Amino acid sequence: MKKNDRIELNITAMSSEGVGLGRSDGMAVFVSGTAVGDVVLAHIIKVKSRYAIGKLVQVLKPSEDRKDVDCPAFKSCGGCAFRHITYESELAVKQKTVEDAINRIGGIPLKSQKIIPSPKYEGYRNKAQYPITMGENGISYGFFARHSHRVIQSNNCFLQPRVFEDIMQTIKAWADKNGVIAYNEETKTGLLRHVLIRRGEKTGEIMVVPVINGDKLPNSNELIQMLKEAVGENFKSLCYNINTSDSNVVLGDKNVFVYGNHTIKDVLCGVCLEISPHSFYQVNRDAAELLYKKAAEYIKPEHRVIVDLYCGIGSIGLSLLKLCGSEGRRLYGVEIVPQAVENAKKNAVANGFAECEFICGDASKAALELKVKKISPDVVVLDPPRKGCNAELLNTVAFDFAPERIVYISCDPSTLARDSKILVENGYKLERYTPVDLFPGTAHVETVALFTK
């Protein structure tokens, strides 16, 4: 096989990123836009020693899993991976991805529990970060192309609620009217970098956060009035975030509030939560409820002390108290973002949870601080970022805390598998794990795992 060959290929598997896989003369060939069961004509564009990459030329025989693509930006946008196959097929790919990681990377021959689907397939996101660029007619917005910082214009994204598009159209009209220029990564000039939108799914409350390369948002009063007209009474907060750094980080450290509240509210598992611009909050509220309810199944009545080492605004720990009962229980939460810690403290008080303590700091260092205080948890909850937990933290959890149970919530199957292997080596058993689809259409999948001592 060589570059520019055209081959007929049977697609027999799919990668976690939604790329079809077939074999030709023993060589693995990856072809985007294909589905398991497809017979396709592929044009080879790259050949390596162990695999090749092909470009789809024609579907000769379509798979039963295939469906019509409903988004014109699908081929170029880096958001979705599975809009060309049915949701049932997508769920099967995600479950297999998690199971393969646990088996292969973790070295644990345990089958996955059945994946829990999202209650919504479209319009489920309560948060969006739109990169801004200059288009032919003023500013343009959308999402980054795969593996790049090239902005693909995307209006009416199916993952976002309709009101987000109304907000972005309003911001475009305001920016174009006032001569606001998009930030240019190469020249480091221009003002508007991103727009962050957050929405409380249950309450409807909306926060809008333009991210600027400067220290002032021009004509903010005009923007406030335009957003009021576009969104109505659900528009609760406008602040601009200052980010003048030469980096890919979306948000800077400083927020300047110019309208409304400093937070918006949402309700999750019966817990009322305050959310600020920097707060971590699961983007799919309805599916997050299913995720936390599954985690709550692993908390026994005799478990009195819970340590939540990546607590965010308290959404996980407080939800577990609500679902399992707070009487006689104490929750310790750890979070590195100061705003989120303040939100967590307020959320605990507002919901009547008195026996809670929240610490601002790195999870590893805070875990040692709790150890010095002789905190002896029955359950440790881990919900780390995509990079997972470091070995030092896992050692502290396993050997110093030594809880009866560890509940690990993961957004990355490979780091979950890696950390599972360490926990098993440290004396824990992976009892069960359940994928939960919080991100329909995309390549991401959440997993909740139970480890017992």
Active site residue ranges: 411
DSSP 82-146: -TTB-HHHHHHHHHHHHHHHHHHTS----PPPPPBPPS-SSS--SEEEEEEEEETTEEEEEEEBT
Strand partners, 19: 32
DSSP 244-271: --SSS-S--SEEEEEEE-S-EEEEETTE
| Residue 26, Cβ density class (10 Å: 0-12 exposed, 13-18 middle, ≥19 buried) | exposed
- Give me 312's structure tokens: 């965010």
Q: How far apart are the first and last CA of the chain?
A: 51
Helix (H) or strand (E) holding 331: strand 330-335
Backbone angles phi, psi at 329, to 5 degrees: -110, 150
Stated length of the chain: 453
Backbone angles phi, psi at 82, to 5 degrees: -130, 25
d(CA 389, CA 385) in angstroms, rounded, equals: 8
Helix (H) or strand (E) holding 342: helix 338-350
Tell me the three state secondary structure of residue 305: strand
Only one residue has tokens 């159209």, namely 169
Torsion angle of alpha carbons 302, 308, 314, 318, nearest 10°?
-10
- What's 398's DSSP letter? I
* Diameter over CA atoms, the chain: 69
Nearby residues of 232 by Cβ (< 8 Å), 6 or more positions away? none
Helices (H), 232-331: 285-296, 315-324
